[in-house]
Amino acid sequence: MINGLINFLMDDVLQNSLITMAEFFKRKKRLSFFDEEIINFSAQMNPLQSELNDFIYHQIIFKCAGNDVNHINKNIIRKLFKNYLIAPQKLPPYIQKRISQETGVEKINWQGKRLSQSQPFIRIVADHIAGMTDNYAKLQLEEFDHEN
């Protein structure tokens, strides 16, 4: 059903845009530097698309923004962050190298409080976690949980 809806919407945009481009060419005798909107839904589809957008925003996006999934994801991020602060040797080798370079603390000395209070170290760990997909973050946390 979703596939059919997407095809329907795309067909409308493509057909309407081709018509708009042809009209633009007739008026301006060029097909470059479009100084007006060319890509649009048709007049018949525009109100339906607006209604669909409202539905998506109110029934999907905004409802998901406040649900338990975000709470769960925040907990995963917090736990990962704490685990990496305690055990930075579990970070990938390229991240460990960056930590040594940017903090000036060699890996052999990572167990003290000095590293965990280092702003560059905290930023590197946060950046690493921020680059993870949800699934990868869950897998990483599971690895920590299995080791404990």
Domain-by-domain residue ranges, the chain?
2-65, 68-147
**In the predicted model, is pLDDT for residue 61 greater than 80?**
no
Global confidence as pTM: 0.53
Q: How confident is the model at residue 70 (pLDDT cuts 50, 70, 90)?
A: low
> For residue 112, how far is the Cα from the chain centroid?
34
- Number of Cβ within 10 Å of residue 83's Cβ equals 20
Q: How confident is the model at residue 94 (pLDDT cuts 50, 70, 90)?
A: very high
Q: In whole angstroms, what is the distance from residue 10 CA to residue 23 CA?
A: 20
Spatial contact of 84 and 91, defined as CB atoms under 8 Å apart: yes
Mean of the pLDDT values across residues 16-28?
A: 94
Mean of the pLDDT values across residues 71-78?
A: 84
**In the predicted model, is pLDDT for residue 115 greater than 80?**
no
> For residue 104, how far is the Cα from the chain centroid?
32
Q: Note every long-range contact of 36-40, with CB atoms under 8 Å and residues 24 or more positions apart, other chains counting.
A: 39/13, 40/13, 40/16
* Helices vs strands, H then E, count in the chain: 8, 0
- Report the pLDDT value the prediction gives residue 16, as an integer from 0 to 100: 94
Share of the chain above pLDDT 70, in %: 90
Average pLDDT, the chain: 86
- Report the pLDDT value the prediction gives residue 139, as an integer from 0 to 100: 93
